[in-house]
């Protein structure tokens, strides 16, 4: 996979000084961890020259990044296009963490609050609009956006239009693949928590885990399809005030993140010993939590599906009349229920 034309823009803001925004503890660390993955040859493998100039962390004085600093970053990135051309490269990653808002009437937008926000002056950079600036003009073939911030709403907070003129190219934009992932839904709060002795954004931590270790497909590829499933599954296991965390995906095309990996899925060919209408699959190592098999296909005498490699599962009929246990220790498993 040729990543020489890949770029990244990474922002993390902890140091808020003005009411009503209190300081955060994990946003800068999350941004640094994402940057590390971006430049890792075993991760995004993005050239340092294509991401270091577009990295912005808040300073202890709380003097940056202001909204103007981030607008300058976006303009500088757009300026990487060759003279007379629109296309900059193959793939763009955007990662933003900090306090967040959702302006009224924009349920698919998440805004990153900048350090100059105070009182009625709610300065923020719209994340989706920032990504669309590059996708709608087809400046990249693929655009990935990750927003680890709240999406709380303020009745008087109007939408903000990024003051960078751009002419959309509908025909070219239709060919651009987009994957946009937000830590939470419209009107809700993103969370950070201590993990491994350090405070981290929950979404960012699980995102990094998924980018490194989400199950591959049967062809040894890790794609945004597997990443989305991983985020939804792992975040759904965490409950705050009795409610599971639910990420949102306003753009969800399939983009290949890594390939040529050892398959992390087993293909199960399940034969029924007698007519069976439905089955349940339970995780034998996680308190018999329900599992959704992948690539589920009905065949003449049973079913074919995939399950994560290297685990134990309980498979039973919907009425629990018949039960078997399988261990996914091979790439292909034949079993009878």
pLDDT digits (tens, 9 = 90+) for 252-270: 999 999 988 876 778 899 9
State whether CATH 3.20.20.80 applies to domain 6-258. no
Residue 286 has pLDDT above 80, yes or no: no
Residue 299 neighbours by CB under 8 Å, 6+ apart: 269
CB 98 within 8 A of CB 113: yes
Between residues 122 and 115, which one has the greater pLDDT?
115
Distance, CA of 202 to CA of 205 (rounded, Å): 5
CA dihedral (153, 159, 160, 166) positive or negative: positive
Distance, CA of 205 to CA of 245 (rounded, Å): 13
Distance, CA of 77 to CA of 70 (rounded, Å): 11
- DSSP state string for 263-302: P-EEEEEEEPSS--S-EEEEETTTTTEE---EEEEEETTE
Distance, CA of 283 to CA of 292 (rounded, Å): 10
Boundaries of every domain in the chain: 6-258, 265-336
Distance, CA of 12 to CA of 27 (rounded, Å): 5
Distance, CA of 256 to CA of 246 (rounded, Å): 23
- Which secondary structure element, helix H or strand E, spans residue 230, and what is its range? helix 224-236
Quick: pLDDT tens for 39-87.
Answer: 999 999 999 999 999 999 999 998 999 999 999 999 999 999 999 899 9
Report CA-CA distances (Å) from 39 to 35, 53, 95, 202, 282. 6, 13, 14, 22, 38
Q: What is the pTM of this model?
A: 0.81
Return the pLDDT at 65. 97
Distance, CA of 220 to CA of 141 (rounded, Å): 23
Return the pLDDT at 227. 95
Distance, CA of 135 to CA of 173 (rounded, Å): 6
Quick: pLDDT tens for 171-216.
Answer: 999 999 999 999 999 989 999 999 888 999 999 999 999 999 888 8
**Other residues' Cβ atoms within 10 Å of the Cβ of residue 45:** 16
Residue 284 has pLDDT above 80, yes or no: yes
Edge-to-edge strand list for the sheet holding 289-290: 289-290, 279-283, 312-317, 323-327
**Other residues' Cβ atoms within 10 Å of the Cβ of residue 129:** 19
- The whole-chain average pLDDT of the chain stands at 92
Identical fold, 6-258 and 265-336: no
Report CA-CA distances (Å) from 128 to 84, 136, 159, 170. 26, 11, 12, 17
**Could you tell me whether strands 140-148 and 89-97 are parallel, antiparallel, or unpaired per DSSP bridges?**
parallel
pLDDT confidence bin for 155, thresholds 50/70/90: low
Q: What's the fold here for domain 265-336?
A: Immunoglobulin-like (2.60.40)
**Could you tell me whether strands 248-252 and 332-336 are parallel, antiparallel, or unpaired per DSSP bridges?**
unpaired
Residue 240 has pLDDT above 90, yes or no: no
**Chain CA centroid to CA 126, Å:** 17
What share of residues in the chain are helix, strand, coil (percent, to 5)?
Answer: 20, 35, 45
Report CA-CA distances (Å) from 84 to 78, 249, 252. 12, 33, 31
State the DSSP code for 53.
Answer: G
CA dihedral (329, 211, 237, 30) positive or negative: positive
- Cα atoms found within 13 Å of the Cα of residue 315, Cβ hemisphere only: 27
Distance, CA of 150 to CA of 185 (rounded, Å): 8
């Amino acid at each position: 996979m040729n990543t020489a034309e890949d770029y990244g823009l990474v922002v993390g803001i902890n140091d808020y000084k003005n009411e009503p925004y209190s300081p955060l503890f994990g946003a800068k660390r999350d941004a640094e961890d994402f940057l590390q993955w971006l430049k890792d040859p075993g991760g995004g493998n993005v050239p340092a020259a294509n991401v270091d100039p577009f990295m912005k962390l808040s300073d202890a004085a709380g003097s940056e990044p202001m909204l103007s600093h981030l607008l300058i970053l976006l303009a500088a990135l757009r300026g990487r296009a060759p003279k007379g051309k629109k296309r900059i490269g193959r793939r763009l990653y955007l990662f933003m963490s900090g306090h967040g808002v959702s302006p009224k009437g924009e349920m698919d937008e998440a805004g990153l609050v900048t350090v100059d926000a105070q009182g009625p002056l709610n300065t923020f950079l719209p994340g989706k609009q920032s990504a669309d600036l590059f996708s709608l003009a087809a400046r990249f073939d693929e655009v990935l956006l990750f927003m680890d911030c709240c999406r709380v709403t303020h009745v008087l907070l109007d939408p903000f239009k990024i003051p960078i003129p751009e002419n959309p190219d509908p025909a070219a934009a239709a060919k651009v693949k987009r994957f946009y992932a937000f830590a939470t839904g419209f009107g809700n709060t993103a969370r950070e928590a201590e993990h491994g002795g350090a405070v981290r954004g929950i979404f960012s931590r699980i995102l990094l885990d998924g980018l490194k270790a989400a199950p591959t497909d049967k062809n040894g590829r890790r794609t945004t399809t597997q990443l989305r499933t991983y985020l939804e599954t792992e975040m759904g296991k965490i409950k705050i005030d009795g409610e599971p965390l639910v990420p949102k995906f306003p753009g969800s095309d399939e983009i290949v993140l890594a390939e040529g990996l050892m398959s992390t899925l087993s293909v199960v060919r399940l034969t029924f010993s007698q007519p069976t209408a439905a089955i349940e699959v339970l995780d034998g190592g996680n308190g018999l939590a329900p599992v959704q098999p992948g690539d589920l296909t009905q065949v003449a005498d049973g079913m074919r599906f995939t399950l994560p490699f290297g685990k134990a599962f309980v498979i039973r009929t919907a009425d629990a009349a018949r039960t078997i246990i399988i261990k996914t220790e091979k790439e292909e498993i034949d079993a009878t229920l």
